[in-house]
Amino acid sequence: MGADQPEDRRTVQLNMGTLYSEAVELVGQEEADRLWKNNRLDSDESWPGKWAKAMELIENLRSSSADQ
């Protein structure tokens, strides 16, 4: 990170294939397909908030899986 960026700024690189595979393992193929379709990222990435939504989705799936 450059000196001009705030310390709390983070860069996250998402591997969408890995995230999808993890979703399938956590909730099954049918539910993962439904979630993926409803929360997919725009191909032009015009709304960066969707990256946060994707991470939130995976964290929620992890939490749900841990609770079961």
pTM exceeds 0.75: no
Which has the higher per-residue pLDDT, 38 or 45?
A: 38
**Whether pLDDT at 40 is above 80:** no
Residue 62 or residue 51, greater confidence: 62
The per-residue pLDDT for range 1-30, each reduced to its tens digit, is: 455 555 556 655 667 778 888 888 888 989
Residue with tokens 């956590």: 26
